[in-house]
Structure 1
Amino acid sequence: MNLSAQNWHGPWTPGEWLKRSCSVLNLVILTVSCIIVVSEFRFDWCERLVGNYLSSTNDTRPENGAIWDAGRHMVNAMQSLDQMALARESAGRMVRTAESFADLSAKLGPGEWATLDKDRFRELYLALPAYRRRNVVDPVRLVWLLNGGATDRIFCEGRLGGMKIFFIDTQNRVVQQVDLDVQTLGNNGSRSVIPGTLDNSPEFFGRIYPVSIFFNAVARLPGDMRSDLILDTEDLLSEKGALGRVGVGNSAQDGFIYLGFEFRHLGESRVVEVKAREWAVWQLILVLKGEG
């Protein structure tokens, strides 16, 4: 018995090959493939689908690899630049709004930097009382620093209890460094107020004089000596009440001797202590003793 079997091998004739190639299944597959390709070029649905999938699973994927590292480095760099820009803007604002060196020092935190132009430094320097300017920088040297072409830039750095000022030349060398503490920037430690009378202060024992005798002796001193004796009369003029007695300290410290001025106001007494230069005080004592 002869049985006919299906011929699964390739067609032997062109007609048979064409019949198989143009079958319904092949035409459907070709049509669907064309539609998919054309729609992808037209609507980019494949990229959108993959993008949505990656976006939805982004939180669950580990953030490692060169791309993630590069992204983190870029974000950190941008944040650092933003912080530097904000810090520079803040420092510039502090310099512009500062009313004095003491105010600028209070606003600058330890390790914080600010740039001072020459005109701004000159304004803050000239705002100081004349006797306090010498504690910042010698006036003669300052003329050379600001007007002699020695300084290109001025930086100030905050620190605990004060600040540092650096004068930089065109070659980035420090030509002058000034270290200012709170007392120097403020009242130079030249004034303090103590409740009570001079009798309660042992340092003035044996050298307490009525105010008329004290100022008569001061009037006999040369003018330049009087300016070194009472460095800043504002410290005393700002006090209310009557001035009764003045005490002269018995010990010197760092070239200064304290003078105590006893004020009485509204039934209460207080002593205002101010610094006076040692050599001027000794001349005053000679006058008070009748030897000057």
Structure 2
Amino acid sequence: MIQQWHEPATFQEWLKRTFSFLNIGLVFFAALFIFSEFRFNWCEKLLGRYLAATNPHRPETGSIWKTGRHTLAANRFLNDIIQKKQEATQKVEQAQTFVELSSGILPGEWVTLQKEQFKSLYRSLPQSISSRLISPARLIWILSGKDLNRIFCEGAVQGLNIYFLDSQNRVIHQLTISSEDIVQIETGVQPISKNIEEIEEFSNSIFSARHFFEAVFMLPEDIIPDLILNPELLLDEKGQIQKVGIWNEAQSGFINLGFEFEANGRKRVVVVKGREWAVWQLGLILRGDTR
């Protein structure tokens, strides 16, 4: 049997080579390296620091980057929703008029309206206007009955919707307020500095003030209050009524009436609303009167 020159000649020689200081040192340092890694995770930390330091210089590609971008975008979107919800709720809580209530809710947004706040908003309106939103008897039954659980406001493109819900989230009553109604409710229709003949919508149905009111007084007494729903606008105007015009179309069950006032040589037209059926009956009398 041929023996290589580098092979140990005896067993003792083999032991000396195997357990030499060099081999023992290598095993010791390898064990120390493995133990320190398990104990302190310094390799992962070192690699993480390296990746963090070089992160800005690497291209943002791959599924991990896409997932991160989607997560960041989702968090921003949720934060925007929460912030808008909080802002809308705060505006609604601070709203003292229907105009402020409508401006604080964007289309598609939902907020809760407290019962006492709705009562305050309703009581702040003149009687002739508040009854147009909802009849007092129905409102008393809804707010004081046992069915109402909460009130929701939904922002609409033009105005807002108010829902009265029971404990089963069923709609007891729905109240729709257009932006035009809100402006008229809070501020009234501003007088128009024109002759009534210059307003095209009134041009085909213009009557003298005497003729108009004589026809009004021919109506039954219970119809007259529905003919002019916001008389305070007329009572606040200075001057004398010269002519009255009837709008050529109805809007949501109401028809506009234009009253031309003359004061100090100037003419202004004040527009008020009347219920369609009451104005229709008045129109029959006006057009049937041959005087």
TM-score interval, smaller chain: 0.7 to 0.9
Report the 3-state secondary structure (helix = DSSP H, G, I; strand = E; otherwise coil) of the residue aligned with 1:25.
helix
- 2:97 and 2:121 in contact (8 A); partners too: yes
Q: State the 1:226 CA deviation.
A: 6.5
What is the match of residue 97 of structure 2? 100
Q: Does 2:243 align with 1:235?
A: no
TM-fit CA distance, 1:170: 0.8
User: How far apart, CA to CA, are the structure 1 residues paired with 2:236 and 2:173?
Assistant: 35
Matches within 5 A, 1:125-140: 125-140=122-137
TM-score under structure 2 normalisation?
A: 0.72
Task: Find the counterpart in structure 2 of residue 32 from structure 1.
Answer: 29
Residue 270 in structure 1 maps to residue 271 in structure 2: no
CA-atom RMSD in angstroms: 4.2
Alignment match, 1:49: 46
Q: Secondary structure at the match of 1:258?
A: strand
Identity %: 33
State the partner residue of 2:63. 64
Q: Following TM superposition, by how much is the alpha carbon of 1:115 offset from its aligned partner in structure 2, in angstroms?
A: 1.0
Question: Is the aligned partner of 1:246 residue 2:246?
Answer: no
- Residue 206 to residue 75, structure 1, CA distance change in 2 (3 Å): closer
| Alignment-derived partner of residue 118 in structure 2 | 121
Is the 2:149–2:167 contact (alpha carbons within 8 Å) kept by the matching residues of 1? yes
Contact conserved, 1:192 with 1:274, CA < 8 A, in 2? no
1:40-68 CA distance string (max 9 Å, x none): 46764323212123324544474426x98
Question: Equivalents in 1 of 2:152, 2:62: separation in Å?
Answer: 42
| Whole-Å separation in 1 of the counterparts to 2:216 and 2:34 | 106
For 2:192, the equivalent position in structure 1 comes to 194
Larger mean CA deviation between 21-30 and 194-203 belongs to 194-203
Q: Which secondary structure state, in structure 1, belongs to the residue aligned with residue 239 of structure 2?
A: strand
Letter in 2 for 1:264: A
Assess, with a 3 A threshold, how the Cα gap between structure 1 residues 261 and 28 changes in structure 2: closer, same or farther: same
Q: Relative to structure 2, which stretch is displaced further, 248-257 or 128-137?
A: 248-257
Structure 1: segments with no counterpart, 5+ residues: none
Structure 2 unaligned segments of length 5 or more: list them. none
Contact 1:230 1:276 in 2 (8 A): yes
1:32–1:109: structure 2 CA closer, same or farther, 3 Å change rule? Answer: same
